Structure 1
């Protein structure tokens, strides 16, 4: 068994979580290529991710692990196979406690053992009398029904020794690929791929709208389709609203939509795209300052980023650059000198952004985060500079501003939509935040 320090284990789990999507991608790719199930286990032997929903290689595994003793033996096997594969420097192929063939490849990341990829759940030959004799020992030890095990054995996949070796080699190559990558490199590749896919989807959506509009134009000579209408002002306002709230993921979704429209409108014209993205970056910086980011920090970042922008040679690099700018500006909204409880703050803000329409109180938020109201309030105020209730009010007011700008809803309805049952109290909170009443704000936005 590994001697695992709790603090180190927490750090390891954090590292694994950061590359969860990459691990998932590798598991899926391996399973599709080989047809053999694969799991990723952490340092304690617990299944972290699986290529299939049940997390078991075969029905025998499921049956054995349904018994406490069987589960313990499986964990021991996972641990020992991981140690062997580290020792040998290549995948370790072995028979598990029940005689099933498995193979393991360790995952070392940034010099630390984080877990193992384990595949198998197959046999290399049809079960003979000697194999069945060994299985009967497992029956007795775990109190399983012999007939049940024998029936399951008949349905286990038979794979040749050569194919097992080839599958183990693929697993080894896969883990080596992951091991040699830096965490930042993985994250950049992942974000780049996701961003390009979303921008591509947006461009295809715009093309479909244009085609539909042209078809409609043939039917109605008075109708027309304006490219400028593809980038409505409310989309930009939604982006800025999310930046002011420090909602990084939400802001990225809207940004990719805007980028798709910019690229479609200015296809292949890099200087025009550069100018449009620079305008967008300036607007983002202003939104960050409005969200209470430090002005000096933002001005310094603006100078640094504008210098970088002039050196960029491709449209793809421009898109990556503006996402980096967005990330930094969004982070700056609630950045603290020495933030220590990032996960708690993130979960708290996510809960509030998801539930702001409800009548939530401090106790509701603290229950969702599994912390006492006092402790959560203390951490949140210390790390963000605002209280939980102040942040909740901020989220509600930002949403109210969006509704005032983009809908015909009256003040009473908007108050209800953003979580206030009392219109007069809503107006009081709004005026305190924005300096004017909701009605005056709506009138100002019409000009």
Structure 2
């Protein structure tokens, strides 16, 4: 990021703060640093959550915004909201970003980590409560500002589609040359080793260049015939994924990416489609190796909690919940249990019981109607779950609270 752009980014962050009242931190992603400390968030400076690391969580936001077409709304380990927008150079490379927050959206009881919440309770209470619509508007405003600063589209795939097109043209020309010269083809095992090293080292540029070279060999040796190319690509995917695991990526996340690729293999109709997909997959592997695991896990957990709270009244399957988080069932279940200390099904039951407790005290609906309204499919199971969590049946709960009110009168 040159001095002129750096000055513009810093000025933009100051203007955003002055207009919205929300902290906006300018970040240099390549150099892994904050660009200025004029409006540094004092909340984050004093945060006691050892999972966070204020710089790390800012870098994570820029990284995810770059992956998701320019903007990203996510949670910090305390459950507060952050909004990020990525800034790129003229080639589409990620340079940095603007990160606003932390923002309080919802009430304190929505937070999972009670021990940290108690330590930060006074500071959390001092944050303004923003509506989801307000947060979305802040996100769009920040994205527009970052897009203007970038001077190019924030969509990372546009760059790679362009590069892949150039690569394919090169491959076709190389194929003509090899066929004309009658050169003997051997698989470039040396280039594959270098590709594995580049992935392990998290070197995106070298990984992309080496991948293109291997694709050239695979395409040319199989005469660009898709049916012959696909098995070779599948083997290459396994090689790259193992390198990502060696570099520190979560093995369950990598397995999920592999399964997703294998399930889509038969859908590719052209070499161009396959090339774009494998390029995107390579970047996902490398992204998975970045040291954002704890922040990412907290973010996923809070988004899962939001999904459950929005859908508690209807039937939910673990498959649907996992799909909403773009993770496998096994991986999501594992990190949810690790972060919250309870299973997803247990948390769903807790939310449903909490909602039903409010209804038991506020209206005269029958217990079976309340059970159905809170997502329980039958009254007997509702009663069993309620008693296990509360220590008494729904009927007894309603009666006891009624007597307390009469006594006070």
> TM-score, normalising length from structure 2?
0.38
Report 1 or 2 for greater relative contact order, CA contacts < 8 Å, sequence distance ≥ 6: 2
> TM-score, normalising length from structure 1?
0.35
